[in-house]
Amino acid sequence: MSNSPSIFSRIVAREIPADIVFESDTIIAFRDIAPKAPVHVLVVPKTEQYSNVTELAAGDPALLAELVATAQQLADEQCGGQFRLIFNTGENAGQTVFHVHAHVLGGTLTEGSLGF
């Protein structure tokens, strides 16, 4: 992991603008700048301590539960509670920012529409 702050930490610090849809003391959520679905929100712990979901689950399961609850709340508000929750873990799996985050994808989705 780099010593410089991740792009998500820079969003938390308001160094980079984002369309923020939720914020608490521990979580921030904002719209993806390159959406892959009608609703595409990133839910991100403010701490940069964990690079992926397995590290978060092992290190702070309560924070992971809060992240998932936030994803559900946002999906309830933005797409009737029906959504896909995706965590990419590792470069070969498509992870490009090594600061744990979840993708909330919703709206009208069909099999194959997201490469699955």
Looking at the DSSP assignment, which residues form a beta bridge with residue 29? 22, 43
Q: What is the pLDDT of residues 90-115, one digit of tens each?
A: 999 999 999 999 999 999 877 766 55
Active-site position among 40, 99, 101, 103:
101
Q: What is the pLDDT of residues 5-27, one digit of tens each?
A: 999 999 999 999 999 999 999 99
Nearest to 40 by CA among 107, 116, 111, 113: 107
Domains of the chain: 9-106 (3.30.428.10)
Q: Classify residue 45 by its DSSP letter.
A: E
Mean pLDDT of 60-78: 98
% of the chain residues with pLDDT over 70: 94
Residue 40 known to be catalytic:
no
Nearest to 106 by CA among 46, 40, 43, 52: 40
